[in-house]
């Protein structure tokens, strides 16, 4: 009679053979999905994203299996279907450029005016942001809503808002203002006061923009998105997709939606320099209600030898 160890070895051998067979099947499946992506890319259409969505419309035909294994089989095929979309987005020749075009502006400014509520910490943030602007000029307003409106109504290209601090974490009120006035983060900088409290400030504008910074003064590149997810949409798939396209989760905040018991709003920040256009394309296919809050660099905080900030 075979021992438990011997039986386990036989199971291992059988699973290995199954894995090899499964790998061949998955390779063929991936090739078919890539072929479909190329085929759709050849279609001349004014709405390539919608054309791609049509590829995944309809329910999968049920797979015959033993009833006791149905839950397992359905879960595996559900995961395979999710990765089909990732593979499709990676190989599709359709572009996500149309997503960025929604934020383009024709407004031209004579100078890179930055509007903010004047205080010592915001002054330090402005001095550090201004190093990356052409002909920067500061202008002050009496309230944060006035600051946002200057950019929203195209009276100035940039504004500064605090977004989080070391005591309260994410400042939800300012996050709401960023969404309300449709602002996009382009740079961030953290300022520490005399008591050691750190406040992070964001430089914002109306349209998406990426300001290049040398790696020596950068703490990394970030992509921040807002997700409104229903009960049938799973956050873990968004996180898996981000990782698939080369981004790591930096932080996540959940916010209540007071008028809905079935939807949740998540503010998610990813770090990395992955395949951004492919990730955004996948989001457009899978989570069409997402919004880009910013694509930005966190500037390194530089202190002088006395502990204070330069600038």
Of 94, 112, 146, the one marking the end of a domain is 94
Q: Which of 76-80, 120-124, 190-194 has the highest mean pLDDT?
A: 120-124
Residue at 68 is within a domain: yes
Report the alpha-carbon distance of residue 211 to residue 186 in Å, rounded. Answer: 7
Average pLDDT over residues 259-282: 84
Number of domains in the chain: 2
Residues spanned by the domain of 28? 4-94
Report residue 83: phi and psi, to 5°: -75, -25
Residue 28 and residue 55 in one domain: yes
Q: CA–CA separation, 64 vs 62, rounded Å? A: 6
Q: Residue 203 above 90 pLDDT?
A: yes
Residues in the chain: 311
Environment class of residue 283 by beta-carbon count within 10 Å: exposed (0-12), middle (13-18) or buried (19+)?
buried
Contact status, residue 159 vs residue 150, Cβ threshold 8 Å: yes
Euclidean distance between CA atoms 276 and 292, whole angstroms? 12
CATH number for position 194:
3.40.190.10
Q: Contact 30/15 with Cβ under 8 angstroms?
A: no
The strand pair at 248-255 and 198-205 is best described as unpaired
Answer whether 297's CB lies under 8 Å from 218's CB: yes
Is residue 151 packed enough to be buried (19+ CB in 10 Å), middle (13-18) or exposed (0-12)? buried
Kindly state the tokens that stand for 86: 């990732």
More confident residue, 251 or 53: 251
Rounded Cα distance, 296 and 97, in Å: 18
Q: How confident is the model at residue 47 (pLDDT cuts 50, 70, 90)?
A: low
Q: Where are the alpha helices (DSSP H) in the chain?
A: 4-41, 48-53, 70-91, 97-101, 120-129, 144-152, 172-180, 235-244, 276-286
Q: Looking at the structure, tell me whether residues 114 and 166 fall in a common domain.
A: yes
Of 53, 69, 94, the domain-final residue: 94
CA 173 to chain centre: 20
> Rounded distance, CA 140 to CA 235, Å?
40
Q: How do residues 111-142 score in pLDDT, each as one tens digit?
A: 899 999 999 999 999 999 999 998 999 999 99
Gap between the Cα atoms of 114 and 148, Å rounded: 11
Give the residue-averaged pLDDT of 93-110. Answer: 56
- Looking at 94, 109, 137, the residue that finishes a domain is 94
* Confidence label for 108 from pLDDT (cuts 50, 70 and 90): low
pLDDT, residue 139, reads: 96
Model confidence, pTM: 0.80
Most confidently predicted of 71-75, 284-288, 292-296: 292-296
Check if the beta carbon of residue 295 is closer than 8 Å to that of residue 262: no
Residue 308 falls inside a structural domain: no
State whether 239 and 107 are in the same domain: yes
Instruction: Report the chain's mean pLDDT, rounded to a whole number.
Output: 82
């Amino acid at each position: 009679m075979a021992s438990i160890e011997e039986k386990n070895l036989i199971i291992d051998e059988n699973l290995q053979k199954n894995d090899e067979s499964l790998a061949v099947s998955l390779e063929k499946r991936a090739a078919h999905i890539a072929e479909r992506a190329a085929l759709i890319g050849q279609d001349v259409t004014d709405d390539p994203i919608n054309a791609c969505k049509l590829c995944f419309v309809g329910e999968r035909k049920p797979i015959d299996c033993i009833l006791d294994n149905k839950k397992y089989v359905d879960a595996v095929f559900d995961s395979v279907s999710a990765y089909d979309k990732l593979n499709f987005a990676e190989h599709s020749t359709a572009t996500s450029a149309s997503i960025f075009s929604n934020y383009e502006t024709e407004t031209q400014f004579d100078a890179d005016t930055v509007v903010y509520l004047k205080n010592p910490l915001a002054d330090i943030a402005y001095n550090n942001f201004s190093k990356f602007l052409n002909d920067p000029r500061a202008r002050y307003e009496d309230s944060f809503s006035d600051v946002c409106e200057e950019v929203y109504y195209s009276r100035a290209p940039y504004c500064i808002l605090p977004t989080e601090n070391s005591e309260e974490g994410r400042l939800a009120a300012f996050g709401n203002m960023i969404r309300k006035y449709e602002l996009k983060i382009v740079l961030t900088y953290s300022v520490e006061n005399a008591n050691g409290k750190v406040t992070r400030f964001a430089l914002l504008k109306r349209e998406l923009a990426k300001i290049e910074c040398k790696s020596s003064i950068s703490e990394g590149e970030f992509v921040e998105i807002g997700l409104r997810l229903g009960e049938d949409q799973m956050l873990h798939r968004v996180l898996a997709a981000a990782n698939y396209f080369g981004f790591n989760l930096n932080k996540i905040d959940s916010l209540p939606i007071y008028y809905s018991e079935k939807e949740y709003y998540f503010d998610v920040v990813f770090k990395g320099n992955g395949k951004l256009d492919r990730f955004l394309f996948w989001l457009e296919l899978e989570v069409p209600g997402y919004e880009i809050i910013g694509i930005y660099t966190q500037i390194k905080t530089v202190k002088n030898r006395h502990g204070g900030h330069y600038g």
